Structure 1
Amino acid sequence: MKIRNSLKTAKTRDKNCVLVRRRGRLYVLNKKNPRLKARQG
């Protein structure tokens, strides 16, 4: 999982990317291509 300052480009990389908020953190998850996972901060 990549840790990024901004998820703007992370969420638009693939159409299966989903933005999720868990425990006060923002995550980008992708079931089809898990390599695209990212977390903010």
Structure 2
Amino acid sequence: MKIRNSIKSLVKRHRDNRVVRRKGRIYVINKTNRRFKARQG
């Protein structure tokens, strides 16, 4: 999982990426290709 300042650039890498907010943190998750994961905050 990448911890990044800019989540928007990681969302654009794959068309199935989703931005999810959990417990004050912002995550990028992908159900089809699970290697695209990121966290912010």
When normalised by structure 1's length, the TM-score is: 0.89
Two-structure CA RMSD over aligned residues (Å): 0.8
Distance (whole Å) between structure 1 residues aligned to residue 21 and residue 30 of structure 2:
14
Gaps of 5+ in 1: none
* Structure 2: gaps (5+ residues): none
- TM-score w.r.t. the length of structure 2 is 0.89
Q: Quote the sequence identity (%).
A: 59
| More helix by percentage | 1
Is 2:20 aligned against 1:20? yes
Q: Which runs of 4+ in 1 moved over 3 A?
A: none
